């Protein structure tokens, strides 16, 4: 193994560790925001009512259990850490660098929390979708100022196009408004690379969703009328963005 390969492997390994740390940081956010509408947040165990989080120590045990009653709360053990580590490793393997890579990591970090919340309560809270969109646009703007390959104008146009398409689908009852609010981040990230990336990245979400739901039905695990589309659109978009980088 040459020096370049060793450096690349070390970079991926370090990035994976950072991703796991980002997942650990997201764990309390996932617990706090995994509440059905119209509630906005929670800080107490839903089983015993004990205060799980406080302002001085906003940390949720990695065991996924309440420290007081030992009942399962929040995301499953190591789920956010593993998901974020895998997402960060995928971005690192994609080979992007600079501000565009930072935008990919940002979407990955926000996306892990959003996906797990969506799976838990079928909603994508504004407190995460809005920073995901704003941060992505800021980082892509920095990429444009730095002269990185890509187009900020196309990214903005792609964000508008995807948001419009998703809004029309939401008005038709085909998806939720949370998906619409996440669309600008997804559209901008994909559009930075090309219109082709936008098309395939958007389509990939529907393909991943369809395959996953068919597999669930085949396994006898279909349990809901409302499908959590957020995780699928994030997985599809990130997969295409990473390979298009």
The DSSP symbol for 61 reads -
Whether the pLDDT of residue 163 is over 70: the answer is: yes
By the 10 Å C-beta count (0-12 exposed, 13-18 middle, 19+ buried), 121 is classed as middle
Percent of the chain with pLDDT over 90: 63
Cα–Cα distance between 44 and 179 in angstroms, integer? 27
Question: What is the four-CA torsion angle of 109, 158, 96, 179, rounded to 10 degrees?
Answer: 20
Cα–Cα distance between 39 and 93 in angstroms, integer? 39
Give CA 3 to chain center in angstroms.
33
Tell me the two tokens of residue 42.
């929670």
β-sheet bridge partners, residue 65:
72
pLDDT at 46: 84
Q: Return the domain boundaries, the chain.
A: 3-244
Q: Residue range 166-193: average pLDDT?
A: 95
pLDDT at 118: 94
Reduced to 3 states, what is the DSSP secondary structure of residue 65? strand
Question: What is the four-CA torsion angle of 17, 23, 28, 32, rounded to 10 degrees?
Answer: 170
Contact between residue 194 and residue 244 where contact means Cβ atoms under 8 Å apart: yes
- The answer for residues whose C-beta is within 8 angstroms of residue 143's C-beta and 6 or more apart is 98, 99, 100, 103, 150, 152, 192
Cα–Cα distance between 110 and 131 in angstroms, integer? 8
β-sheet bridge partners, residue 44:
51
User: The pTM is what?
Assistant: 0.91
Give CA 145 to chain center in angstroms.
26
Give the chain's mean pLDDT.
89
Lowest-confidence pick of 47-51, 83-87, 142-146, 159-163: 47-51
């Amino acid at each position: 193994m040459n020096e370049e390969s060793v450096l690349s492997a070390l970079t991926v390994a370090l990035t994976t560790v950072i991703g796991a740390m980002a997942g650990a940081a997201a764990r309390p956010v996932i617990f706090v925001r995994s509440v059905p509408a119209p509630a906005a947040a929670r800080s107490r165990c839903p089983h015993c009512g004990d205060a799980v989080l406080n302002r001085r120590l906003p940390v949720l045990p990695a065991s996924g259990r309440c420290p007081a009653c030992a009942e399962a709360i929040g995301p499953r053990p190591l789920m956010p850490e593993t998901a974020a580590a895998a997402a960060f490793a995928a971005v690192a393997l994609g080979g992007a660098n600079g501000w565009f890579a930072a935008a990919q990591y940002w979407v990955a970090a926000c996306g892990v929390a959003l996906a797990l919340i969506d799976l838990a309560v079928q909603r994508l809270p504004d407190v995460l979708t809005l920073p995901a969109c704003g941060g992505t646009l800021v980082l892509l703007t920095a990429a444009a100022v730095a002269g990185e390959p890509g187009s900020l104008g196309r990214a903005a146009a792609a964000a508008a196009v995807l948001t419009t398409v998703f809004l029309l689908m939401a008005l038709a009852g085909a998806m939720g408004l949370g998906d619409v609010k996440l669309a600008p981040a997804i559209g901008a990230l994909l559009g930075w690379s090309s219109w082709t990336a936008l098309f395939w990245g958007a389509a990939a979400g529907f393909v991943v969703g369809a395959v996953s739901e068919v597999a669930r039905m085949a396994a006898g695990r279909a349990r809901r009328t409302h499908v959590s589309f957020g995780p699928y659109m994030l997985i599809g978009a990130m997969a295409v963005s990473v390979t298009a980088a």
